[in-house]
Amino acid sequence: MRQHLAILCDNKPGVLTHVAGLISRRAINIECINAGYTEEPDVTRINIVVTVDNKWELDQAVNQLAKLIDVIKVVNLDDAPFVSYELAMVKVKCPDAQIRAELTNLAQLFNAKIVDVQPRSLVLRITGREDHVQATLDMLQHYEVLEIARTGQISLSRGLVPVKDM
């Protein structure tokens, strides 16, 4: 099962290594991981999506993460309703005007934005839920994709209460 974890930790060097290292040592698969600043300057939020076989494995991961000295809090977002989004950028080859027109049309249909246009290529920016991003990428496979960069999902719980108060 896939689980979305939000990890609040001290904004100090080495934190991401500690978190990622622990997860890999315990042989848990990370699907994606990203880190960034938060509303508090000394707190970093690491968002990870892990695949675990069962509840026991998940509890182990959460407890082990919580044990790290520089981890302030670990919350499993799947325990309550949450929203989850991803950003992807795709560079596609477009050798002629017809393909450019097709891609522009496709971008419109998928609510993607074209953020770079060159004589022989363009870059699409897609934001959305995971399946939306995936559907867009699937369609783009019919063209010559040169490069893909994805952030992985970031997630927030629904409602008033932030993760730090959960």
Partner 1 sequence: MRMIGAKALIECLKREHVEVVFGYPGGSVLTLYNELYKSNIPHVLTGHEQGAVHAADGYARATGRTGVCFATSGPGVCNMVTGIATAYMDSIPLVVFSGQVATNLIGRDSFQEADISGITTPITKHNYLVKNVNDLPRVVREAFYIAGTGRPGPVLVDIAKDVFDRELEFEYPETVHLRGYNGNVKGREEDVVAAVEALRQAKKPLFLTGGGVLTSGTSALVCDIVKKAGIPVVTTLMGKGCVPDTWNLHLGMAGMHGSYAANMAITDCDLLVAVGARFDDRVTGDVENFAPNARIVHFDIDKVEINKIVQADISVNGDLRWSMPLFADRVLSLADDWDGRFASWRNDVLAHKAAHPFASQPMGRAVTPQLLFEAVQARTDADTIAVTDVGQHQMWAAQFYQVEKPRHFVTSGGLGTMGYGLPAAMGARLGRPQNTVVLFTGDGSILMNCQEFSTLHRYNVEVKVIVFHNKVLGMVNQWQRLFYNGVQAASVIPDFPDMDKVSAAMGVPGFRVTSRDDLEAGLDKLFRTPGPALLDVVIPEEEKVYPMVPGGKRLDEMILGETEGGTAE
The distance of closest approach from Cβ of residue 36 to partner 1 in the complex, given in angstroms and rounded to an integer, is 18
Residue of 1, 2, 21, 111 interacting with partner 1 (CB under 8 A): 21
Does 166 sit near partner 1 (CB under 8 A)? no
| Subset of 47-76 contacting partner 1 (CB under 8 A) | 56, 59-60, 63-64, 66-73
Using DSSP bridges, classify how beta strands 43-51 and 29-37 pair: parallel, antiparallel or unpaired. Answer: antiparallel
The distance of closest approach from Cβ of residue 17 to partner 1 in the complex, given in angstroms and rounded to an integer, is 7
Q: Which residues of 145-155 are buried (b: 16+ CB within 10 A; e: fewer)?
A: eeeeebbbbbb
Q: Which is nearer to partner 1, 66 or 83 (CB)?
A: 66
Q: Compute the distance between CA of residue 64 and CA of residue 71 in angstroms, rounded to an integer.
A: 10
Q: Compute the distance between CA of residue 87 and CA of residue 84 in angstroms, rounded to an integer.
A: 11
Does 25 sit near partner 1 (CB under 8 A)? yes
Pick the stretch among 10-18, 30-38, 90-98, 147-155 that binds partner 1 (CB under 8 A). 10-18
Q: Compute the distance between CA of residue 18 and CA of residue 14 in angstroms, rounded to an integer.
A: 6
The distance of closest approach from Cβ of residue 78 to partner 1 in the complex, given in angstroms and rounded to an integer, is 20
Q: How many CB atoms lie within 10 A of CB 137?
A: 17
Q: Which is nearer to partner 1, 43 or 99 (CB)?
A: 43
The distance of closest approach from Cβ of residue 53 to partner 1 in the complex, given in angstroms and rounded to an integer, is 15
> Residue 47, CB half-sphere, CA atoms under 13 Å: how many?
19
| 164 within 8 A of 8, measured Cβ to Cβ | yes
Binding site for partner 1 (CB under 8 A): 9-10, 13-14, 17-18, 21-22, 25, 56, 59-60, 63-64, 66-73
